[in-house]
Chains A and B, each alone.
Chain A
Amino acid sequence: MDNQVAIARAQARYARCIDDGPLEDWPSFFTEDCHYRVTTADNYARGLPAGLIWADTRGMLTDRVSALKEANIYEPHVYRHMLGQPAILSESGGDVESETPFFVLRVTGGGPTDLFASGRYVDHYRVEGDQALLRERVVVCDSKEIDTLLALPL
């Protein structure tokens, strides 16, 4: 299968997993020794390495889900991810670098639909057959401001 198609399919399922569940499946979109980070365009441009969320193993992603389910307290909310088409930036066999623009709407409690985040996924995929797994996803948010809190992943 074409890498672009494999990535587009994986990303559609990724967004559906976070927005409609089950969230427990979210780590399964990554390889075991993955990197996932949520940062801002400013930090990214300056090469500042910290993240709002920072993981270098799939286990850390699993822990993020467990903490959200079992430990952290926050007002219930839902996301709706809208993703653009992935731009394939480089391909070397099954190693693919791509970027995908996104925006995420958030509804907290009984409140209105808020535009919560916009940005791009800067990704490194490992494509094998028809399966595309994330070796690295850097979520680069356009704004430096997060409204209230960031609980569910982007």
Chain B
Amino acid sequence: MDRLTGTQVSNRAPDRSWPRSLTRVPYWVFQDESVYRAEQDRIFHGPHWSYLCLEAELAEPGDFCATFIGEQPVLVTRDVDGEVYAFENRCAHRGALIAMADHGKARDFTCVYHAWTYNLQGDLTAVAFAEGVGGKGGMPPNFCLSDHGPRKLRIAVVHGLVFGTLSNDLPDIEEYLGEEILDRIDRVLGGRKPVVLGRFAQRLPNNWKLYAENVRDSYHASILHLFFTTFGINRLSQRGAIIVDESGGHHVSYSAIDRSATESTEYRDQNIRSDSEYRLADPSLLEGFSEVGDDVTLQILSVYPGFVLQQIQNSVAVRQILPRGTDDTLLNWTYLGFESDTEEQRLVRMKQSNLVGPAGYVSMEDGGIGGFVQRGIAGASDEYATLQMGGDTAESSESRVTEASVRGFWLAYRESMGFVPDDDAPLPEIGEHERTRVVRA
């Protein structure tokens, strides 16, 4: 671990002030190129744990995954000692990718450009023509292999999820996540061996933070996603809650079958469709089983900055949010089953894969909505989103009609970006007055 020196996190925070109130989010944060660049340093290379891949994808020695921390390509491997390692996917010679396949098996890695070779732990083991040819050429005599190599990542494995960081300046993963988040990861993955059922990628025409917000936004779920309400799968009046961790950055939203629930008129009153004549021609889609023996049918969990673990009915998946530009995001989906699944359970998971992903009945809208915001805020860099649903704090809540976990994301974000809260930034009320004045003028 001698090269685990971490990235020097730039102290440069873009010269911006951030409203002290968590109810206001400036739109420039989704548009500004300098903010985007600073995020790579301060967030993805900074003191945060990023999800890399599943341990199940590294079942045997020699298995590797090519993944990313932010924009940075990273290789995760399992060496012959059985341990998981991760290092930059960048040759120490001239910067080419060390491995190009997303997943594969290797004894070692040889860069295609000049055949510099690395072992599964990322150590440089050979340089082609190091001694030259016929006594001519070659590397200088003082060239030392161990002085050269890609930076190595610190690794942590939590219930089969592999996280990594390029920073030394952060606590271990358990402390980073906190007990409540760990418990909820344990609830879905604890004591079970996940099996990858499929991998899909979705390119979103929006800033990565719009998707991070969307994941934490329990307010929109049954309003935008009408499949839920049309077929009576999920309603805000179901028993559920929001957990926001102390940093604000991680969250859990869950709901459970409320066996004492009575018919409610709340949706009809809001003119949102809830009681409809629509019935599935093949209702087997929704005939699931208790995922882990409790009544929870939905649990969405996020880890700051870019990880999501979902259980929607019996559709279990992890999502990796990767920034690709101010208005370009790569969202990787890995659908999971478990080794203990029966054949019937596996069939349920296949059917319920229709609920999620780029074509999912309850997720396809999320592919589009970020782009609607990105397009909507063009020309409005100095305006603000308003997040007042459920108050102005970022605390856990028994109501899911709240934007508490979205506010939590921004609390963690402004902290990690080093934006200084500014009392002079307009409060929601002031904004309303201004708007009224403009209309009347």
Per the bound structure, the CA–CA distance linking A124 and B249 in Å amounts to 48
Q: Interface size class for chain A?
A: 35 or more
Cβ-defined contact, B278 with A48, below 8 A = no
> In the bound complex, how far is the Cα of B354 from the Cα of A39, in angstroms?
12
Binds A, one of B183-191, B201-209, B299-307, B416-424: B201-209
Min C-beta distance of A82 to chain B, whole Å: 21
A50 B358 Cβ-Cβ under 8 A: no
Contact partners of B276 in chain A: CB under 8 A: 70
B16 within 8 A of A: no
A85 at the interface (CB under 8 A from B): no
Partner among A40, A66, A74, A151 whose Cβ is within 8 Å of the Cβ of B199: A40
Nearest CB of chain A from residue B138's CB, rounded to whole Å: 41
Chain A residue numbers with a CB within 8 Å of B231 are 71
Please encode chain B, from 350 to 367, with 1 for each CB lying within 8 Å of some chain A CB and 0 for all others: 110110011101001101
**Beta-carbon contact of B198 and A43 below 8 Å:** yes
Closest residue on chain A to residue B204 by CB atoms: A148
Q: Which of A42-72 contact B (CB under 8 A)?
A: 42-43, 48-57, 59-60, 62-64, 66-67, 70-72
Instruction: Check if A2 is an interface residue, CB within 8 A of chain B.
Output: no
* In the complex, per-residue mask of B223-258: 1 if CB is within 8 Å of any chain A CB, else 0: 010110011000000000000000000000000000
A132 within 8 Å of B (CB atoms)? no
Task: Give the chain B neighbours of A145 by CB distance below 8 A.
Answer: 201-203, 330
Given contacts A43-B199, A72-B226, A151-B359, A60 and B285 within 8 Å (CB-CB)? yes
Report whether A146 and B202 are in contact in the complex, using a CB–CB cutoff of 8 Å: yes
B200–A52 touching, CB < 8 Å: yes
Q: How far is the CB of A145 from chain B (nearest CB, A)?
A: 5
Q: Does B196 interact with chain A (Cβ within 8 Å)?
A: yes
How many Å from the CB of A143 to the closest CB on chain B? 8
Q: How far is the CA of A148 from the CA of B328 in the complex (A)?
A: 10
Q: Give, as a whole number of angstroms, the nearest-CB distance from A111 to chain B.
A: 11
Interface pair A70/B278, CB less than 8 Å apart:
yes
Given A60-B351, A67-B227, A146-B203, decide whether A72 and B198 contact each other with a Cβ distance below 8 A.
Answer: no
How many angstroms from the CA of A67 to the CA of B224 in the assembled complex? 13
Contact in complex: A49, B197 (CB < 8 Å): yes
CB pair A72 B365 closer than 8 Å: yes
Contact B285 A73 (CB under 8 A): no
Given the interface pairs A62-B281, A146-B201, A146-B202, the reply to whether A71 lies near B350 with Cβ below 8 Å is: no
A150 touches B199 (CB 8 A): no
A1 interfacial contact with B, CB 8 Å: no
Q: A74-B368, A149-B359, A149-B368 are in contact. Are A54 and B205 (CB under 8 A)?
A: no
Instruction: Report the minimum CB–CB distance from B326 to chain A (whole Å).
Output: 17
Cα of A54 to Cα of B359 in the assembled complex, Å:
10
Residue numbers in A under 8 Å from B102 (CB-CB): 42
Q: Which residues of B contact A (CB under 8 A)?
A: 102, 196-205, 224, 226-227, 230-231, 276, 278, 280-282, 284-285, 330, 335, 346-347, 349-351, 353-354, 357-359, 361, 364-365, 367-368, 371-372
The 5 residue pairs across chains A and B that have the minimum distance between CB atoms: A50-B198, A59-B282, A149-B367, A59-B281, A150-B359
Q: List 9 A-B contacts (CB under 8 A).
A: A40-B199, A50-B197, A54-B354, A57-B282, A60-B351, A62-B282, A66-B278, A146-B359, A149-B365
